[in-house]
């Protein structure tokens, strides 16, 4: 009795404390090596992952879909310094990991240079640190364009053909003017675009000098693109062309579905968001090149952790997953826009889309993707960008003066960067 | 544990005063082993994180790189950070807007449920308790559609009465009100059930005596029910204080990680969460956690004093 209780307790202790003590040694007996991959839902095409084992007879890929807050879980794993995967998906916050570049394998050491020419330069460079270490390999991209309601544009006397829209609304100022016209023509019920925060972000995405130089200096207070974005967002509010409706809310979905917002600039993946939000408007939307130029929002990467026993094999798997033809497949299955421009000319990229009135939007986004500027984000981009957007939000929702908001944002950023 | 009497054969352990105790423990090893799981779990998931967070609060750490000793910088930054104090202010305001009406409603509901003329009492109890077991995220999404600026139900009602819509989620008061109403909706029933249990422990002969003396319902409520419920009220005030100070999910789902427009929905825990898991300042966030600990202790003590003090005040007016 006593003894069995003791044994039970001991067994419990072992179970509780021993989780990480006895890891299975890598099996060298059989020829198959096991690679682990972490990704989140819809970041990689599951169909492709299933094929890896057939494609590489000596590799078994154990792919794990990590739910919830992927970044937080990855950070926790990195902090624990063990138990990480071989291959890991990284989102557009990849630059936040630059200070920890030693935790990842430098892909240039594995021969990444050989395939570099197949991928978009601006996308490739987002995965390379300022000192030339490549920690992340391109997956999908998020080229931006103007989504607009063809019927509302027609009623307001604005151009309706995508090429014509781009020609007449080439600058943000022209776009705001058109917005004023549209609002008047439609009895003040319809706003040209959704909100200032996203507008600010979209203008910023069209430039190349953002908040930091590659050597880590903060240049936000004098960067031309930042000032341009700020001024544009403030003007949009002053001109009354924003609805003040935030994305990712039921409000936004309702506004889109009811036709209270005539257009917005967004990445290619907004297509799916829009289709889900506004099913009743199917066929009325079109896509044109964005005012102010082409930009990019989001898109992810794959990296190999330093702790991996088989970096070479892991890199082979990555190269295969992100090959031109496989990126094309991922585009067909999940709308993941390729980062290998060789795929753009494929007819599959240019099918007619009923939601967009039969328009082939692929060509628009492909053109946009080719023109994105090579920009350096820096490890603190998200932090700084968040502060800017919060202040801009106050301009539009609490009528704060744009200049005061700018001053406050700069003060707060300087404080944050010093901590 | 009683110190065991020294065993007669403790000669072997001369000079080690605790040897007897250890031997006693060894003798009862099976019992100790049987109660050990709780202590082990508590050590691993309770004591260790608490101590580690204290250690962390003096470090600078992004969760991945090396830890750097940071002295009191985290605490200094916290105490000089406008947003930290703003989050403290928000938390208190929301707490006031939610707790006071919530406890009053709960008391009234419990009193009514406890009175003789209500039928289907069981059904009411379940109905009042249901909000508490609903997913907070679902609740927050529903409330966000109630308070939404453009297409919200509240603004729909206002405009249909010819009033102008209110931009609830664009100003501090509106955001506080929306979050507080969520808290009220969720916790009123829970507190009502606790009060009901308290009410049922009040001897009925007191009520009968009051009735015979011709007391009105209101008099009975204020002269008998409330004074005898004091300990229960104290309990709910303290739990609401701790819960209110730890408010997180409601604002996060309603207005996001930055607390909405002008950070007006930023509560202390939301601020802690953002600094730790969105911005990866783990050292700083640990310091905020300890700051929060101090605030909760002080505020609970104040509440306790206030609620206690009333006991000495005679109930006659």
Transcribe A20-42 into DSSP letters: TT-PPPPP-SSS-EEEEEEE-TT
pLDDT classification of B9: cutoffs 50, 70, 90:
very low
| pLDDT > 60? residue B4 | no
pLDDT confidence of residue B115: 78
Are the Cβ atoms of A250 and B150 closer than 8 angstroms?
no
Rounded to the nearest 10°, the torsion over CA B27, B30, B31, B33 is: 120
Going residue by residue through chain A (419 aa), what tens digit of pLDDT does each one get? 455 555 555 555 544 454 444 445 454 446 799 999 999 999 999 999 999 999 999 999 999 999 888 988 888 888 888 889 999 999 999 999 999 899 999 999 999 999 999 999 999 999 999 999 999 999 999 999 999 999 999 999 999 999 999 999 999 999 999 999 999 999 999 999 999 999 999 999 999 999 999 999 999 999 999 999 999 999 999 999 999 999 998 899 999 999 999 999 999 999 999 999 999 999 999 999 999 999 999 999 999 999 999 999 999 999 999 999 999 999 999 989 999 999 999 999 999 999 999 999 999 999 999 999 999 999 999 999 999 999 999 999 999 999 999 999 999 999 999 88
Q: Which residue does chain B place closest to A398, by CA atoms?
A: B170
Q: Residue A296, SS3? A: strand
pLDDT classification of B69: cutoffs 50, 70, 90:
very high
Contacts of B29 (CB under 8 A, 6+ apart): A2, A6
Are the Cβ atoms of A255 and B151 closer than 8 angstroms?
yes
pLDDT confidence of residue A145: 98
Are the Cβ atoms of A72 and B30 closer than 8 angstroms?
no
pLDDT confidence of residue B317: 39
Cα(B250)–Cα(B259) distance, integer angstroms: 10
pLDDT classification of B122: cutoffs 50, 70, 90:
confident
pLDDT confidence of residue A105: 97
- Measured between CB atoms, which of B30, B33, B148 is closest to A251? B148
- DSSP H/E element including A71: helix A70-80
Which pTM was predicted? 0.87
Which residues in chain A have Cβ-Cβ distances shorter than 8 Å to B280?
Answer: 75, 96
pLDDT confidence of residue B8: 45
pLDDT confidence of residue A138: 98
pLDDT classification of B6: cutoffs 50, 70, 90:
very low
Least confident of A277-291, A302-316, B19-33, B84-98: B19-33
A-B C-beta contacts closer than 8 Å: 91
Mean pLDDT score of chain B: 88
Cα(A133)–Cα(B63) distance, integer angstroms: 21
pLDDT confidence of residue B309: 60
pLDDT confidence of residue A1: 45
Q: Which of A40, A82, A29, A39 is nearest to A61 (CA)?
A: A39
Least confident of A275-284, A339-348, B140-149, B308-317: B308-317
Burial class (CB in 10 A: 0-12, 13-18, 19+), A273: middle
The answer to whether the beta carbons of residues A230 and A218 sit under 8 Å apart is no
| pLDDT > 60? residue B1 | no
Classify each residue of A149-164 as buried b or exposed e, where b means 16 or more C-beta atoms within 10 Å of its C-beta.
Answer: bbbbbeebebbbebee
- Measured between CB atoms, which of B33, B37, B277 is closest to A6? B33
Q: Which of A149, A145, A172 is nearest to A239 (CA)?
A: A172
Cα(A322)–Cα(A15) distance, integer angstroms: 40
Nearest Cα of chain A lies from the Cα of B61 at a distance, in angstroms, of 10
- Measured between CB atoms, which of B37, B62, B262 is closest to A12? B37
Nearest Cα of chain A lies from the Cα of B253 at a distance, in angstroms, of 10
């Amino acid at each position: 009795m006593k003894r069995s209780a003791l044994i039970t307790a001991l067994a419990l202790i072992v179970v509780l404390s021993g989780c990480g003590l006895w890891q299975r040694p890598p099996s060298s007996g059989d020829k198959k090596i096991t690679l682990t991959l972490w990704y989140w839902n819809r970041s990689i095409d599951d169909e492709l992952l299933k094929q890896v084992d057939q494609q590489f007879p000596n590799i078994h890929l154990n792919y794990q879909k990590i739910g919830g807050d992927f970044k937080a879980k990855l950070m926790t794993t990195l902090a624990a310094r063990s138990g990480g995967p071989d291959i890991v998906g990284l989102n557009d916050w990849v630059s936040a990991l630059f200070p920890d570049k030693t935790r990842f394998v430098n892909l240039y050491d594995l021969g990444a240079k050989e395939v570099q020419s197949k991928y978009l330069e601006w996308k490739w460079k987002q995965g390379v640190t300022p000192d030339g270490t490549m920690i992340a390999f391109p997956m999908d991209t998020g080229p931006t364009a103007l989504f607009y309601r063809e019927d509302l544009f027609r009623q307001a006397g604005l151009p309706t053909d995508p090429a014509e829209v781009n020609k007449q609304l080439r600058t943000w100022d022209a776009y705001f003017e058109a917005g004023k016209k549209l609002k008047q023509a439609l009895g003040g019920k319809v706003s040209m675009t959704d909100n200032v925060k996203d507008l600010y972000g979209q203008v910023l995405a069209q430039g190349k000098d953002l908040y930091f130089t590659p050597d880590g200096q903060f240049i936000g207070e004098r960067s031309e693109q930042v000032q341009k974005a700020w001024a544009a967002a403030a003007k949009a509010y002053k001109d009354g062309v924003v609805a003040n409706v935030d994305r990712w809310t039921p409000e936004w979905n309702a506004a889109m579905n009811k036709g209270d917002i005539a257009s917005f600039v967004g990445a290619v993946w907004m297509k799916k968001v829009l289709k889900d939000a506004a099913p009743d408007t199917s066929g009325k939307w079109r896509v044109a090149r964005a005012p102010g130029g082409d930009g990019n929002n989001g898109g992810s990467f794959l990296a190999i952790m330093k702790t991996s026993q088989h970096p070479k094999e892991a890199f082979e798997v990555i190269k295969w997953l992100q090959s031109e033809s496989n990126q094309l497949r991922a585009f067909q299955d999940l709308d993941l826009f390729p980062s290998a421009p060789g795929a753009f000319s494929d007819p599959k990229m240019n099918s007619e889309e009923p939601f967009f009135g039969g328009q082939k939007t692929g060509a628009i986004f492909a053109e946009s993707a080719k023109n994105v500027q090579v920009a350096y984000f820096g490890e603190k981009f998200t932090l700084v960008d968040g502060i800017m957007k919060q202040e801009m939000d106050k301009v539009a929702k609490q009528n704060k003066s744009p200049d005061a908001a700018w001053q406050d944002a700069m003060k707060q950023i300087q404080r944050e960067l010093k901590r | 544990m009683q110190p065991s009497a020294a065993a007669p054969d403790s000669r072997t352990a001369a000079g080690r005063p605790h040897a007897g105790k250890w031997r006693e423990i060894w003798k009862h090893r099976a019992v100790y082993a049987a109660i050990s799981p709780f202590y082990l779990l508590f050590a691993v998931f309770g004591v260790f994180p608490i101590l580690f967070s204290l250690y962390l609060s003096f470090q600078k750490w992004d969760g991945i790189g090396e830890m750097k000793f940071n002295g009191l910088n985290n605490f200094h930054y916290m105490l000089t950070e406008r947003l930290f104090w703003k989050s403290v202010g928000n938390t208190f305001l929301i707490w006031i807007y939610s707790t006071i009406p919530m406890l009053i409603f709960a008391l009234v509901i419990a009193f009514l449920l406890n009175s003789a003329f209500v039928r289907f009492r069981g059904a009411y109890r379940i109905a009042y308790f249901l909000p508490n077991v609903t997913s907070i995220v679902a609740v927050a999404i529903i409330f966000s559609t109630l308070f939404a600026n453009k297409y919200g139900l509240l603004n729909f009602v206002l405009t249909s009465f010819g009033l102008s819509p209110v931009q609830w989620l664009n100003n501090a008061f509106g955001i506080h009100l929306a979050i507080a109403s969520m808290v009220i909706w969720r916790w009123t029933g829970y507190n009502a059930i606790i009060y009901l249990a308290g009410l049922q422990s009040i001897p009925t002969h007191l009520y009968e005596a009051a009735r015979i003396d011709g007391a009105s319902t209101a008099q009975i409520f204020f002269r008998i029910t409330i004074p005898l419920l004091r300990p229960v009220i104290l309990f709910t005030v303290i739990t609401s204080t701790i819960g209110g100070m730890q408010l997180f999910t409601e604002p996060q789902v309603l207005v996001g990680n930055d607390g909405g427009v002008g950070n007006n929905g930023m509560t202390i825990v939301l601020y802690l969460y953002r600094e730790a898991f969105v911005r990866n300042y783990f050292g700083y966030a640990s310091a905020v956690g300890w700051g929060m600990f101090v605030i909760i202790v002080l505020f609970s003590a104040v509440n306790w004093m206030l609620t206690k003090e009333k006991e000495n005040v005679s109930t006659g007016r």
